[in-house]
Structure 1
């Protein structure tokens, strides 16, 4: 499938006129896993829409990460969108979770498309709604769930997002994203394994 066909297939909901503008003005790039696309403090020059793959968006405090959300195909980054419109530095990091193909929308064009194409606004309004719902869900987990329950939900969501099972992930990465220590994660994964909810393989975790 050509790049133009991929764009029109994944983003058909934006409408022909806007898609033609996007194809003409934007670039499509592929990135390997663990590629940093955006860092905290960086000014946003392009806004990504994922065509294939997955991007992890997170904030960082000292040596701890806080996972904010994943950007899946046909989705974009609301934090990048907001920072670009305000011309303020990014408050987040964005890193590819797997090999990922994105279309990069130039910020100089985005401000025009926002005014010209209602479907473009709808894309980001929907993204804000999704992220707000995810935020409420995260707060609910933090307030009412024990860490082992949060860990299990995290692994299930990771499986759903990546469409892979087992998941190739280290205890340290999980600990960073859940804001705890690696030793705690190792202990809780053994607990989940004893409950027959997960199974550990070499550098992988299988959700049962």
Structure 2
């Protein structure tokens, strides 16, 4: 049995489409591996089998913004745009956990789009879902208060009430500057909502933090 049968989110495909994909060999990538840089040519469509990849955009000021994360069953919108429109990558992709993925070369991808209704539907559905998440990101960065974005970021990323990340990494997550995040975290700590250690944020009062996360202008 090939890898297609265990690929999360991939629909049941026609035999010819399955055979085309199963000829490809999954690759393993350790945490911290850069998969592509801005300006690189898009070489294929990524199918995640396990792990997590994060895609960042770097502004002219050098500040980074986390555009989206790719987990099993999800797609990379930059890869899809590049394959269908010919654009190069504008962001940088980094594995944040040990990952297993399959790179579907451009020629195979385009053949599958013509050959398989199910594969084509999978690509467009994943693409639409990713665009929707990008619209939510734009809304958060453009219109939500920094306190709201910070509170939501802490709640979304914390595991068992603890987030292990530097202030600079949190700033990238929510699309802000490290200095701004540091000031807001210090303010939350003074109110007893969080407790800070070097590289660690402990959520002490999740109810109040949730109220802040749900607040609107």
Q: TM-score surpassing 0.5?
A: yes
Counterpart of 1:35?
A: 33
Taking structure 1 as the reference length, what is the TM-score of the superposition? 0.84
Q: CA deviation at 1:115?
A: 0.7
Determine the structure 1 residue equivalent to 2:201. 205
| Distance 1:165-1:105 versus aligned 2 partners, 3 A rule | farther
More displaced stretch, 177-186 vs 97-106: 177-186
Which one has a larger percent helix, Structure 1 or Structure 2?
Answer: 1
Judge which range, 127-136 or 187-196, deviates more: 187-196
The counterpart of 2:177, out of the listed 163, 166, 181, is 181
Q: In structure 2, what is the Cα distance between the partners aligned to 1:107 and 1:54?
A: 22
Q: Is the 8 A contact 1:148 1:192 kept in 2?
A: no
TM-score by length of 2: 0.81
- TM-superposed CA distance for 1:203, in Å, is 1.9
Q: How many residues align?
A: 201
Deviates more, 1:35-44 or 1:45-54: 45-54
> In the alignment, what sits opposite 2:66?
67
How much has 1:116 moved relative to structure 2? 0.6
| Other structure's SS at 1:27 match | coil
Q: Which residue of 2 aligns with 1:8?
A: 5
Match in the other structure for 2:135: 136
Q: How does 1:55-94 map to 2 (within 5 A)?
A: 55-62=53-60, 63-94=62-93
How far is 1:54 from its partner?
0.8
Cα pair 1:76 1:127 within 8 Å, conserved: yes
Q: Deviations over 1:102-136 (max 9, x none)?
A: 11111110000001111212222222222222223
| Runs of 4 or more above 6 Å deviation | none
Measure how far apart 1:56 and its partner are: 0.7
Q: Which runs of 5+ in 2 are unaligned?
A: 207-217
Aligned to 2:18: 19
Q: RMSD value over aligned CA atoms?
A: 2.4
Contact 2:80 2:127 in 1 (8 A): no
Are the counterparts in 1 of residues 35 and 95 from structure 2 also a CA contact under 8 Å?
yes
Corresponding residue for residue 52 of structure 1: 50
Equivalents in 1 of 2:161, 2:14: separation in Å? 37
Give the unaligned 5+ runs of structure 1: none
How far off its partner does 1:165 sit?
5.4
